[in-house]
């Protein structure tokens, strides 16, 4: 298992940051489709689907993906209202048919002048004998994607 820990500070309340995170436009790009099942007040839940091209992935990971591979992310968050001083977001990501699971736990906590965003990601591969190699190959790719998403939340 590989673990990635990232922190950001954003202007706005946890509820405002969560509302940004569940906006379909936040996930736009690279052919991603977004389905919003519930909003922040009800306990956010959305599903994203992004086609993956083997050419965009580390070689060790690309070997385990076939054509038409798709990253599916289930994003869920605690219910929040405008006065909420903290909330938690859970993202479960998988590539259908690939032996890799990615779980991201994000804590949003109100601090002086904004919101502290703390994300902990766990990458687990069940490939016999080569699981740790796949995890190591995916680690910088996943960290880069997550960092980009967190930066989007900070910049909005």
What does the pLDDT look like over 86-144, one tens digit per residue? 999 999 998 876 788 999 999 999 999 899 999 999 999 888 888 888 888 888 888 98
Token pair recorded at residue 60: 């060790």
Coil, strand or helix at 156: coil
Q: Which pTM does this prediction carry?
A: 0.87
Contacts of 29 (CB under 8 A, 6+ apart): none
Name every residue whose Cβ is closer than 8 Å to that of residue 61 and which is 6 or more positions away in sequence: 98, 100, 134, 137, 138, 141
Please write the tens of the pLDDT for every residue from 31-74.
889 999 998 889 999 999 988 777 776 676 666 666 677 889 99
% pLDDT > 70, the chain:
90
Q: 26: how many CB neighbours lie within 10 A of its CB? A: 17
CATH class as words, domain 2-155: alpha beta
d(CA 7, CA 147): 9
SS3 102: strand
Rounded to the nearest integer, the mean pLDDT of the chain is 86
For residue 62, give the H/E element and its range: helix 59-62
Q: What pLDDT is recorded for position 28?
A: 76
CB 51 within 8 A of CB 30: yes
Residue 30 three-state SS = coil
- Stated as kind and residue range, the H or E segment containing 117 is strand 114-125
The CA distance from 88 to 18, in Å, is 9
Show me where the domains of the chain are located: 2-155
Q: Within a 10 A sphere around the Cβ of 74, how many other Cβ atoms?
A: 14
Strand runs (DSSP E) across 20-69, as ranges?
33-38, 45-51
């Amino acid at each position: 298992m590989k673990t990635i820990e990232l922190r950001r500070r954003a202007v706005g309340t946890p509820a405002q940051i969560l509302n940004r995170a569940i906006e379909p436009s936040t996930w736009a790009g690279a052919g991603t489709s977004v389905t919003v099942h519930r909003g922040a007040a009800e306990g956010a839940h959305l599903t994203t689907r992004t086609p993956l091209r083997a050419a965009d992935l580390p070689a060790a990971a690309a070997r385990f993906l076939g054509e038409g591979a798709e990253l599916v992310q289930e994003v869920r968050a605690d219910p929040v209202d405008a006065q909420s001083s903290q909330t938690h977001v859970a993202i479960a990501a998988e590539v259908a048919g690939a032996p890799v699971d990615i779980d991201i736990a994000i804590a949003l906590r109100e601090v002086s002048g904004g919101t502290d965003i703390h994300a902990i990601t766990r990458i687990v591969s069940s490939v016999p004998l080569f699981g740790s190699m796949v995890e190591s190959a995916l680690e910088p790719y996943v960290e880069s994607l997550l960092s980009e998403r967190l930066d989007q939340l900070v910049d909005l």
